[in-house]
Amino acid sequence: MSASREKKQRQDIGPDPKAVKAQKEQADRKRKTIIYTVIAVVVVVAVAALLIWSSGFFQSRMTAGTVGGEKLSVADLSYYYYSARADYLDYLYYIYSMMGSSPTLPADTDVMDEESGQTYGEFYMETALDNASFSAALYNEAVANGYSLNDVKDDIDGQMQQIKDSASSSGYGYGAYLKAAYGTYITRGALKAQVEREALANKYYADHRQELLDGYSQEQLDAYLAEHHDDLDTFEYSVFYVAAPTVETEDEDGNKIDEETVNKQKEEAMEQAETDAEAILTDYTTGSEFDYIVEEYGLTETSCQDHTTNVGSNINAAYVYHDKLMELKEGEGAVVEATSGYYVIVLHSRALDTSSTRNARHILINAETTTDENGSTVAPTEDAWNAALEKIQAVKAEYESGDKTEDSFAALANKYSDDGGSNTNGGLYEDIEKGAFVSEFEDWLYDDARQSGDVSEPIAHGKDAESSNYYGYHLIYYVGESGKAVWEDSAKTALVTDDINTWRTDMIAKCPVVTNDNAKLIG
């Protein structure tokens, strides 16, 4: 066989080079397709996992530690952390509103205590852990003593409905609202579980507290009076708050002003406030009218009170002027320095109040408010006030058209009242002493002509104020005197506060909290 023929035969029986090349290219394309497909799947899975992680799905189900030996999830801890945070910020709003200003809310990373270096976030976490521990101990005691969720079903339903209503009025979807209110890692299931546990714990707490209150003897009350007379006397006094002028820390171009200049301006601002405070004290004690002084010195109405009445233990204003007021004699006044201004206080009278506290039922209809671009509350418009008035007049008309009993008023309070503190117990407030409620409420309640069964006309609160904790109309049903002297009720409150604090410490010790690194996800 010739070489040429042999070559030809090899060509005939071997693969065609062009076919081989085509097959190789096809295989390469197929391999690349598989690789790209695998890569695409991996990317999709990775993106999905990242999205799920960012949503907090995995983290919320992680264990952040234990409380009393039971699992404490990240979602559970988030509930307690953000509840503690909200409570403290509400307290700040209250204190600043008393001074007629709005607070600058601190960041969680800001230092709260310069001496220890504790941040606000660390404070919130410390409070959250204590609350989680106390709540768990209360829940365990409640279950051990035969309490069940059926006992607090209405409270649970009311609390869940209130959360849903808040979400609706805020403009958020329900899920988005929960994350805004309770943190990224909250889940609907965790929230519901905590609301249920808290409701049962709160019932056990309230029952125990009432048991303590009912158990104090007259000898104990008299002994407390002998030792704490200042805390039990009723004081009638007037107070003005003079805020120091605001000092800018940046110029018109947004550049920071040097610290020495700012501090000097702050000193001058405080000196001006002190000068005004001294002048106000002179004016008021020599006969100038309260309203004239408020207008003349440009004070805010919410930071000033004329002839207000309070039991000594209730006089706080963060206790800035409490001690000084205790020292004054009737008719005397003083100027007391505060953090960013001065208080002017004048004592009119003080005495042990032996009159009876009073019981009442109450319906509140809020006037709708809005918020500005800074998130501050904007007072209701005239239309909003009119809408609230129309609604409360309709509530009263419904009461008048019925049997006009205390029970029927209570039913209306549960049905219509915006007062979260009483709209599940028929609007009932017991043992009301002077100074505990807003003046509009108490002026009607403590009228000498008041008779059991009286129902007020709609009473506006906040309508003429520059700022307020709330705006709306009250409808009040006077139940009658409680039969308890004001000072005795105050003594019981003081005694039970001490006893509850000791009890709380003991209960927390029963359910210690142990956290792990996952707790750092919160805050």
Q: Which residues contact 27 (CB under 8 A, 6 or more apart)?
A: none
pLDDT band at 11 (very low <50, low <70, confident <90, very high): very low
How confident is residue 41, by pLDDT bands cut at 50, 70 and 90?
very low
Query: In this structure, what is the dihedral angle of CA atoms 129, 132, 133, 136, given to the nearest 10 degrees?
Result: -170
The pLDDT of residue 255 is above 60: yes
Contact indicator for 362, 341 with CB cutoff of 8 Å? no
| pLDDT (mean) for 254-274 | 91
How many H helices and E strands in the chain?
A: 17, 15
Percent of the chain past pLDDT 70, that is, above it, reads 85
SS3 390: helix
431 shares a domain with 382: yes
Q: Are 247 and 189 found together in one domain?
A: no
pLDDT bin (cut points 50, 70, 90) of residue 515 is very high
Give the closest residue to 240 by CA, choosing from 276, 286, 272.
276
Give the model's pLDDT for residue 470: 82
- The reply to whether 504 falls in a domain is no
Q: What is the CA 440 to chain-centroid distance, rounded?
A: 23
Q: Which residues of 326-339 are buried (b: 16+ CB within 10 A; e: fewer)?
A: bebeeeebbbbebe
The answer on 361 and 347 residing in a single domain is: no
Domain with 378 in it: what CATH number?
Answer: 3.10.50.40
Does residue 500 lie within any of the structural domains? no
Q: Which helix (H) or strand (E) holds 430?
A: strand 428-432
pLDDT for 373: 66
Q: How confident is the model at residue 61 (pLDDT cuts 50, 70, 90)?
A: low
Higher model confidence: residue 23 or residue 238? Answer: 238
429 is a domain residue: yes
User: Angle 218-227/486-510 helices, nearest 10 degrees?
Assistant: 100
SS3 of residue 291 by DSSP: helix
Check pLDDT > 70 for residue 30: no
| Statement: residue 311 has pLDDT above 60 | yes
pLDDT at site 60: 58
Please give the C-alpha separations between residue 50 and each of 60, 73, 100, 107, 370, in angstroms, as whole numbers. Answer: 15, 21, 46, 27, 37
pLDDT band, residue 39 (cuts 50/70/90): very low
Cα atoms in the Cβ-side hemisphere of radius 13 Å centred on 353 = 27
Which distant-in-sequence residues (6+ apart) come within 8 Å of 514 by Cβ?
A: 65, 66, 67
Residue 478: pLDDT over 70:
yes
SS3 content of the chain, % helix, strand, coil (to 5): 55, 15, 25
pLDDT of residue 31: 53
At 111, the amino acid letter reads V
Is the residue at 5 inside a domain?
no
Q: Are residues 367 and 467 in the same domain?
A: yes
Total tally of structural domains belonging to the chain: 4
Which domain does 113 fall in, by range? 63-215
Taking the model in full, what pTM does it have? 0.68
Are 261 and 150 in the same domain? no
Q: Does a structural domain hold residue 515? A: no
In a shared domain, residues 338 and 360: no
SS (H, E, C) 354-372: CCEEEEEEEEEEECCCEEC
φ, ψ at 483 (rounded to 5°): 85, 5
Whether 417 and 364 have beta carbons less than 8 Å apart is answered as yes
User: Rounded CA gap, 183 and 186, in Å?
Assistant: 6
The confidence band for 22, taking pLDDT boundaries of 50, 70 and 90, is: low
Mapped onto helix, strand or coil, the DSSP state of residue 311 is strand
Q: Are residues 324 and 430 in the same domain?
A: no
Task: Classify residue 328: in a domain, yes or no.
Answer: yes
Instruction: Return the structure tokens found at 319.
Output: 């206790």
Out of 72-76, 317-321, 349-353, 496-500, which region has the weakest mean confidence (pLDDT)?
317-321
- What does the alpha-carbon distance between residue 272 and residue 269 come to, in Å, rounded to a whole number? 5
461's CB contacts (< 8 A; 6+ apart) are: 438, 440, 441, 468, 470, 471, 472, 473, 474
Judgement on whether residues 344 and 366 belong to the same structural domain of the protein? no
**Radius of gyration over alpha carbons of the chain, in Å?**
33
pLDDT, tens only, 381-401: 999 999 999 999 999 999 999
**Do residue 24 and residue 150 come from a single domain?**
no
Q: Is 134 found in the same domain as 247?
A: no
In a domain, 508, yes or no: no
Lowest mean pLDDT among 2-16, 23-37, 136-150, 407-421: 2-16
| 104-131 per-position pLDDT tens digit | 788 999 999 888 999 999 999 999 999 9
Asked if residue 224 is part of any domain, the answer here is no
Burial pattern 137-172, b for ≥16 Cβ within 10 A else e, equals bbbbbbeeeebeeeebeebbebbeeebeeebeeeee
Distance CA 202, CA 156 (A): 11
Neighbours of 64 (CB within 10 A): 29
Q: pLDDT tens digits for 185-208?
A: 898 999 999 999 999 999 999 999
**Mean pLDDT for the chain?**
85
pLDDT over 50 (residue 44)? no
Statement to judge: residues 283 and 341 lie in one domain: yes
Q: pLDDT per residue over 169-181, tens digit each?
A: 777 788 888 988 8
Which residues, including other chains, have CB under 8 Å from residue 488's CB and lie 6 or more apart?
221
Report the distance separating Cα 498 and Cα 492, nearest Å.
10
Query: For residue range 66-85, what is the model confidence (pLDDT) as tens digits?
Result: 999 999 999 999 999 999 99
The pair of three-digit structure tokens given for residue 242, joined into one six-digit string: 């003079």
Look at residue 254 in the predicted model and tell me its pLDDT: 82
pLDDT-based confidence at 479, cuts 50/70/90?
Answer: very high
> Within this chain, do residues 381 and 473 fall inside the same structural domain, yes or no?
yes
